[in-house]
């Protein structure tokens, strides 16, 4: 597809030439801008959440959780460019991804710019392609250091080896603690799919019955002896005609690199998630029942170590895969006595979330 914008000479109501035509003379007779093989898409997540705190009362809030615009352009069959934006906490629009993509073959691809480094499945998945609504709130998922929205500036190799269903990725990146310094962060991931393959750099945590997945992944980020290491697992099996059973789990160790609380140098945690997508439609969509439990420990800080436990339950209505889904959720978060003493507060949330994507 080629989108062409033409600017031609014309006249105002008074018969005078347009200022643009006068400025560029005869060249303006047919100026042309081409955008070859380009797609533009958008996505949003919005929610209403009621939060009941253990001691300080309750809140009720509507929120625009995410609003992204995506531009993907194909310059040649092997050279591509991707750009996406996202809103930050101040509701300002920021660059999320800006990637020069040199994709020579499934086994050999080079990306450069700003994007997610090789990390765990959850980080690659992000909120839009996660099974549950409350992504990265359990003290476990996506605690990596980043420049913006989990992304870092750098370069990476990645490859899919179809014969063995092996996925490899590795790269060098700048994060806030390395920017302007001599050192960079090394990131690498190795993944093996025992059943169906998952082609491409980014991953999903569910395929809603389109694939049978049995996958193990190991990832590590290292800079100056400090590291984050994770092991993740995903099993998804088709059930009946259009249903699916999903089991996802992860263990992660933050060793002075990343984590949810900057006052603590280290920590570790895990989560386990199970979901069942009913094969029989209910109206235009299908119901999915989901439960998730995560626990995290925060260590080596200025105050005593503490633990966080998170339990989440979703009733999801899947109208069209990731493109249109509703989530009714309950999430309970509790802290150990040391966490409460450090200012953390137990809370329970009830909410309704909506996700739309035009991808």
- pLDDT at position 24 over 80: no
Same domain, yes or no: 50 and 75 = yes
Same domain, yes or no: 159 and 240 = yes
- pLDDT at position 17 over 60: no
Q: pLDDT tens for residues 37-59?
A: 899 999 999 999 999 999 999 99
Same domain, yes or no: 13 and 144 = no
- pLDDT at position 148 over 50: yes
| Percent of the chain predicted with pLDDT > 90 | 85
Q: pLDDT tens for residues 293-349?
A: 999 999 999 899 999 999 999 999 999 999 999 999 999 999 999 999 989 999 999
| Pair type for strands 243-255 and 93-105 | unpaired
Task: Compute how many other C-beta atoms are within 10 angstroms of the C-beta atom of residue 63.
Answer: 12
Count how many domains the chain has.
2
Query: What mean pLDDT is predicted for residues 240-246?
Result: 95
Same domain, yes or no: 21 and 168 = no
- pLDDT at position 26 over 50: no
Same domain, yes or no: 309 and 347 = yes
CATH number assigned to the domain comprising residue 66: 2.40.160.10
Asked if 11 and 18 touch (Cβ cutoff 8 Å), the reply is yes
Report the mean per-residue pLDDT for the chain.
90
For residue 7, give its domain range: 1-36
Same domain, yes or no: 243 and 340 = yes
| Percent of the chain predicted with pLDDT > 70 | 90
Q: pLDDT tens for residues 86-139?
A: 999 888 999 999 999 999 999 999 999 999 999 999 999 999 999 999 999 999
Q: So what's the pLDDT on residue 180?
A: 86
| Pair type for strands 38-53 and 2-7 | unpaired
Q: So what's the pLDDT on residue 215?
A: 98
Same domain, yes or no: 194 and 300 = yes
Same domain, yes or no: 29 and 52 = no
Same domain, yes or no: 98 and 218 = yes
Q: So what's the pLDDT on residue 34?
A: 59
Same domain, yes or no: 20 and 101 = no
Same domain, yes or no: 9 and 156 = no
Instruction: Answer positive or negative: Cα dihedral of 193, 197, 201, 202.
Output: negative
Same domain, yes or no: 136 and 243 = yes
């Amino acid at each position: 597809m080629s989108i062409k914008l033409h600017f031609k000479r014309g006249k105002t109501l008074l018969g005078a030439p347009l200022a643009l035509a006068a400025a560029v003379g005869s060249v303006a007779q047919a100026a042309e801008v081409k955008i070859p093989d380009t797609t533009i898409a958008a996505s949003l997540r919005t929610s209403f959440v009621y939060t009941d705190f253990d001691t300080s009362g309750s809140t009720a809030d509507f929120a625009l959780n995410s609003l992204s615009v995506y531009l993907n352009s194909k310059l040649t069959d092997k050279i591509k460019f991707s750009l996406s934006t996202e809103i930050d906490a101040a509701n300002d629009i920021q660059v999320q991804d800006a990637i020069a993509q040199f994709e020579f073959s499934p086994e050999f691809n080079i990306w450069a710019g700003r994007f997610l480094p090789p990390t765990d499945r959850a980080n690659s998945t992000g909120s839009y392609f996660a099974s549950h609504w409350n992504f990265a709130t359990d003290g476990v998922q996506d605690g990596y250091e980043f420049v913006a929205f989990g992304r870092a500036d750098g370069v990476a190799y990645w490859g899919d080896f179809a014969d063995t269903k092996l996925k490899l990725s590795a790269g060098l990146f700048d994060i806030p603690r390395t920017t302007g310094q001599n050192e960079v962060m090394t990131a690498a991931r190795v993944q093996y799919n025992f059943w169906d393959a998952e082609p491409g750099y980014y991953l999903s945590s569910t395929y809603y019955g389109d694939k049978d997945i049995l996958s193990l992944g190991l990832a590590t980020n290292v800079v100056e002896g400090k590291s984050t290491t994770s092991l993740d697992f995903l099993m998804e099996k088709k059930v009946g005609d259009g249903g699916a059973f999903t089991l996802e789990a992860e263990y992660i160790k933050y060793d002075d690199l990343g984590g949810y609380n900057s006052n603590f140098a280290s920590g570790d945690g895990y989560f386990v998630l199970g979901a069942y997508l009913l094969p029989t439609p209910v109206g235009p969509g299908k119901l999915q029942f989901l439960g998730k439990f995560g626990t995290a420990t925060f260590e080596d800080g200025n105050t005593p170590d503490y633990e966080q436990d998170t339990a989440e339950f979703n009733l999801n209505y899947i109208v069209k895969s990731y493109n249109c889904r509703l989530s009714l959720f309950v999430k309970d978060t509790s802290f150990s006595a040391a966490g409460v003493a450090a200012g953390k507060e137990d809370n329970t949330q009830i909410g309704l979330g909506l996700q739309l994507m035009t991808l």
